[in-house]
């Protein structure tokens, strides 16, 4: 018999039960549900809404149920509909009518809003920690490769020289923003909705602030209608996780390219690659490919909840039961991806020689060659045209800018002199980019120190 069956003369159809139930997926919130119920029962007793002895009895039994659920001794029944009714049924079965007093001054509407916030606060903290661990890996890689010259790209074409540390710091800054977004999300999520009731609070003299403090919330929600119907925090979290996965996906694409024979900038450790069932020579970057693929899954979770919420009137609607599965799926997906991605990066080997060889091609010092002429007094657009003709000549002759003779340089402009060779060397090209954010030693060290300080502040 359903706990809400008093109004009904018939049992719900089996097919309705199968569609209506959420316990197959919301049972993972049993700890949060029981924790919230313990705080609620304590408040009811303290406020004299129920007898203090009854509150104590409820709390003791709830703690026993929590221990039994942790030990896998309590079955989750589809007839219970959700984890809230499962816990209440188990409580009533153990202590009788006293257990029926727990739901005083509370609705499943504010109860589920509480459980999701408690659960997502915990998950956010774990994901944030994993992001920081990955950020630490990037910092370590960057510290060891400040002198590893490589080409940077636009349009996937070699563009200008940089170093591997500078490249890693680009992704480090993305992850720092991801961490800050998660922290902002956690701050906005840190509101206790319990006490909102079904939608217009309750007539009982409850103490919402007491419950919020006991559950570790910074504050209570300010409006009971909003308290039960708000899922902005869930959408914000899914949005933040989607951006995080987008960053991992972009990084994965680079890893996949760098592993290819066409690049061969890195080699993944055997523990983080797979082979082919038919081609014995293959070593596939499947981890990076899976992370790239799972990004779409997290995007889908975000769009799912946006679509669920887009036309719902206040307050709670059963549609909102669809909030949990995309949330849980996105959380589980991100939590699987982050640690394996960090391990994959920390064990990969760099092929500095191939990076350097790639940087030698593609005329990535052409901009520096133009800058050389500008420093000699030519307007930039004039210098740009001169170097463009020189590059075209090199392509026709199978040469590089470094291999042109001074006579050949002077055929394009008498401004060229012997010092051009030092000016366009790759190491010089990198070291001259000595502005904040650039790859030269001083600005690069500032970037490394900034990320290091960011991590140290969060230990």
Name the catalytic one among 242, 276, 431, 452: 276
Whether 13 shows a pLDDT value over 90: the answer reads no
CA distance 185 to 346: 29
361-456 — its CATH code?
Answer: 1.10.40.30
Whether 17 shows a pLDDT value over 90: the answer reads no
- Enter the pTM of the model: 0.93
User: How confident is the model at residue 4, as a pLDDT?
Assistant: 52
Banded model confidence at residue 1, pLDDT cuts 50, 70, 90: low
CA distance 277 to 164: 34
Question: What mean pLDDT, rounded, does the chain reach?
Answer: 95
**Secondary structure E strands in 65-137:** none
For the chain, what percent of residues have pLDDT higher than 70?
A: 98
Reported as a single tens digit per residue, the pLDDT across 76-108 is 988 888 999 999 999 999 999 999 999 999 999
Whether 438 shows a pLDDT value over 90: the answer reads yes
Reported as a single tens digit per residue, the pLDDT across 108-125 is 999 999 999 999 999 999
DSSP H or E run through 346 = helix 324-347
In Å, how far from its chain's centre is CA 325?
17
Is there a common fold for 5-104 and 109-144+173-208+218-357? no
In this structure, the number of other CB atoms found within 10 A of the CB of residue 271 comes to 9
Where do the domains of the chain lie?
5-104, 109-144+173-208+218-357, 361-456
What is the pLDDT averaged over residues 226-233? 97
The secondary structure of 412-430 as a DSSP string is H-TT--TTHHHHTSHHHHH
User: How confident is the model at residue 3, as a pLDDT?
Assistant: 61
Classified by CATH at the fold level, domain 109-144+173-208+218-357 comes out as: Fumarase C; Chain A, domain 2 (1.20.200)
Name the catalytic one among 61, 155, 196, 425: 155
Banded model confidence at residue 11, pLDDT cuts 50, 70, 90: confident
Whether 299 shows a pLDDT value over 90: the answer reads yes
What is the pLDDT averaged over residues 155-172? 97
Whether 359 shows a pLDDT value over 60: the answer reads yes
Whether 375 shows a pLDDT value over 70: the answer reads yes
What is the pLDDT averaged over residues 133-138? 98
Banded model confidence at residue 193, pLDDT cuts 50, 70, 90: very high
* C-beta of residue 57 within 8 angstroms of C-beta of residue 95: yes
What is the pLDDT averaged over residues 52-69? 98
User: How confident is the model at residue 78, as a pLDDT?
Assistant: 86
276 is catalytic: yes
Please return the burial class of 318, using the count of CB atoms within 10 Å of its CB with bins 0-12, 13-18 and 19+: exposed
CA distance 138 to 172: 6
5-104 — its CATH code?
Answer: 1.10.275.10
Banded model confidence at residue 6, pLDDT cuts 50, 70, 90: low
Please return the burial class of 349, using the count of CB atoms within 10 Å of its CB with bins 0-12, 13-18 and 19+: exposed
Quote the tokens at residue 248: 């991992």
């Amino acid at each position: 018999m359903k706990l809400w069956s008093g109004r009904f003369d018939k049992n719900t159809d089996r097919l309705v039960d199968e569609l209506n139930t959420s316990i197959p997926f919301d049972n993972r919130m049993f700890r949060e549900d029981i924790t919230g119920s313990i705080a609620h029962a304590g408040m009811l007793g303290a406020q004299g809404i129920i007898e203090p002895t009854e509150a104590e009895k409820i709390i003791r039994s709830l703690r026993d149920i929590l221990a039994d659920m942790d030990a896998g001794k309590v079955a989750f029944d589809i007839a219970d509909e959700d984890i809230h009714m499962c816990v209440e049924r188990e409580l009533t079965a153990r202590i009788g009518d006293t257990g029926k007093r727990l739901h005083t001054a509370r609705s499943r509407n504010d109860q589920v809003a509480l459980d999701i916030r408690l659960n997502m606060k915990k998950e956010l903290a774990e994901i944030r920690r994993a992001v920081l661990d990955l950020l630490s890996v990037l910092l370590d890689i960057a510290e060891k490769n400040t002198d590893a010259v490589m080409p940077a790209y636009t349009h996937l074409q070699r563009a200008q020289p940089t170093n591997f540390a500078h490249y890693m710091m680009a992704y480090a800054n993305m992850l720092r923003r991801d961490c800050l977004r998660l922290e902002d999300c956690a701050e906005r999520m840190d509101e206790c909705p319990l006490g909102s009731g079904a939608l217009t609070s309750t007539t009982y003299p409850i103490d919402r602030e007491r419950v919020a403090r006991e559950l570790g919330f910074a504050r209570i929600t300010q409006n009971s209608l909003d308290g039960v119907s708000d899922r902005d925090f869930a959408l914000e979290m899914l949005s933040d996780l989607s951006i995080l996965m987008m960053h991992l996906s972009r990084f994965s694409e680079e890893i996949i390219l760098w592993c290819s024979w066409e690049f061969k900038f890195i080699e993944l450790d055997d523990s983080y690659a797979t082979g082919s069932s038919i081609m014995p020579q293959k070593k596939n970057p499947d981890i990076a490919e899976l992370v790239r693929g799972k990004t779409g899954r997290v995007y889908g979770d975000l769009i799912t909840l946006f679509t669920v919420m887009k036309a719902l009137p206040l307050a709670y609607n059963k549609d909102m039961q669809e909030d949990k599965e995309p949330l849980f799926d996105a959380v589980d997906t991100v939590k699987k991806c982050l640690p394996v991605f960090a391990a994959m990066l920390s064990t990969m080997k760099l092929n500095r020689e191939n990076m350097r060889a790639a940087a030698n091609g593609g005329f990535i010092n052409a901009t520096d060659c133009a800058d050389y002429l500008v420093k000699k007094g030519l307007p930039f657009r004039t210098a740009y045209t001169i170097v463009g003709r020189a590059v075209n000549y090199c392509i026709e002759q199978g040469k590089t800018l470094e291999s042109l003779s001074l006579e050949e340089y002077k055929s394009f402009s008498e401004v060229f002199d012997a010092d051009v060779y030092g000016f366009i060397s790759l190491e010089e090209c990198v070291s001259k980019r000595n502005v904040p954010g650039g790859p030269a030693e001083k600005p690069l060290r500032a970037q490394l120190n900034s990320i290091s300080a960011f991590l140290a502040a969060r230990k």
